[in-house]
Structure 1
Amino acid sequence: MSDLRHVTSWVFDMDDCLYPRAQGVMRLVQERINAFMMAAVGLPKDEARALQLQFLNEHGTTLAGLMANYAVDPAAFLHDVHDVPLDSLEPNPELADLLGRLPGRKFVLTNGARMHADRVLARIGVAGRFDGVWCIEDMDLVPKPAPATFRRFLDRYDVDPHAAAFFEDTPRNLMPAKALGMATVLIGDGHGHEIGDWVDHRADDLTDFLRPLALRDAA
């Protein structure tokens, strides 16, 4: 990990990154998205799901696609799809400790809603470990992987991309980070998507990856 010694800003996606995908939160969110899509576009389940995947590919999020093609209330969408139980989400005190030991500032950069981020970070026990949490509302609803969203984030927190690392479970969201000069770390298997040379490091589990980085300067 010697090539991450230059990092002074650590930037993390949240869902399926700060906690394992197997804990199932995004499956619950997806179920709410499916129901919202069916009601919003008036299509049966399979067709609504196909359209939602098209929106993801073309616009970055389901909401961005809906806003471009249908009259929807973004606040209602964000509240409805993120209002899921978090019982399956396990607190991770080791992650909280490791984040506290990392040298420099720590941030969350998520396409999720702020209410969702607040609930998730509190649930896993890391809410107090970040210097900033940048959510879809802060992006003016223009999600990752839009390069402008990354530039706005960097400007807002005065982050030097050449001294930053970005952790993310969706490979294409790492592309603009790499283009801006950030070190990139893919957490998980990439969900079956292409993993190109814009990915510097890969890890199955965030906590396992951070452990040697956070403890390397310990006595």
Structure 2
Amino acid sequence: MIDLSHVSTWVFDMDDTLYPREQGLMQLVQARINAYVVEAVGLDPVAARLLQRQFLDEHGTTLAGLMANYTIDPAHFLHDVHDVPMDSLEPAPRLVEQLMRLPGRRFVFTNGARDYADRVLDRLGVTACFDGVFTIEDADLTPKPAPSTFRHFIERYGFDPHRAAFFEDTPRNLEPAKALGMTTVLIGDGHGKPLGDHIDHIAPDLLDFLTDLTFKDAAA
């Protein structure tokens, strides 16, 4: 039995966490990012993809890597790569039910752009479930897993990380959360990346995990 009765703040990554990876939205974004790198850096698609993976490993996002190594317009990048259709996303009324029964406040903490996050949450039908949405613009373009971005996020909403749970599909993004005292839940298989003892729980699917939680002794 998983005991999260101490949790009064619930924090969720968005992409491949609030919806199943199989719905394929991030594949569309990935294709746009790759095309952007091809154009901006002048590489062929294979080399651009390798560079992008390097940037993800070293900087947390492709944007951060591009900004550190090239002269680009961040606003143009964010608009361009997130300009994808939402048709593959399925509205999630059952997820709404489970989110709304969580005791306390609920937040989205994403490396995605503001407009894109608004579109995703609207398509899923979960916008009203959250007390706040923290995007890459709110982080001054410094992505997870930067500890400073986690501190900024916590300060923005004023919660005790020791009474918070963080749900995320990228294992290394859970490391600073755990260091700050959050309970960490990996959603999915970690994309083949190394796992570690900074992960408290692993769940193949967010909806199933939330459905199995009970809150009779939960914090108010």
For 1:216 and 1:151, the matched residues in 2 are separated by 28
For 1:31 and 1:12, the matched residues in 2 are separated by 24
CA offset digits 1:5-58 (Å, max 9, x no partner): 100000000000000000000000000000000000011111111111111000
Q: Secondary structure at the match of 1:43?
A: coil
Deviation at 1:217, TM superposition (A): 3.3
Cross-structure match for 2:15 = 15
Deviation at 1:159, TM superposition (A): 1.1
Matched, 1:165 2:137: no
Cross-structure match for 1:197 = 197
Ranges in structure 1 where 5+ consecutive residues have no aligned partner: none
Cross-structure match for 1:146 = 146
2:187 partner letter: I
For 2:76 and 2:100, the matched residues in 1 are separated by 35
Q: Secondary structure at the match of 2:3?
A: helix
TM-score (norm 2): 0.97
Cross-structure match for 1:217 = 216
Deviation at 1:204, TM superposition (A): 0.5
Cross-structure match for 1:71 = 71
CA offset digits 1:147-182 (Å, max 9, x no partner): 000001001100100000000000000000000000
CA offset digits 1:105-140 (Å, max 9, x no partner): 000000000111000000011001101100000000
TM-score (norm 1): 0.97
Cross-structure match for 1:94 = 94
User: How many equivalent pairs are there?
Assistant: 217
Matches within 5 A, 1:42-121: 42-121=42-121
Cross-structure match for 2:180 = 180
Contact 2:167 2:186 in 1 (8 A): yes
Answer 1 or 2: higher relative contact order, Cα 8 Å, separation at least 6: 2
Q: State the identity %.
A: 70
Deviation at 1:97, TM superposition (A): 1.0
1:111 partner letter: N
Ranges in structure 2 where 5+ consecutive residues have no aligned partner: none
For 1:97 and 1:2, the matched residues in 2 are separated by 19
CA offset digits 1:189-209 (Å, max 9, x no partner): 000000100000000100000
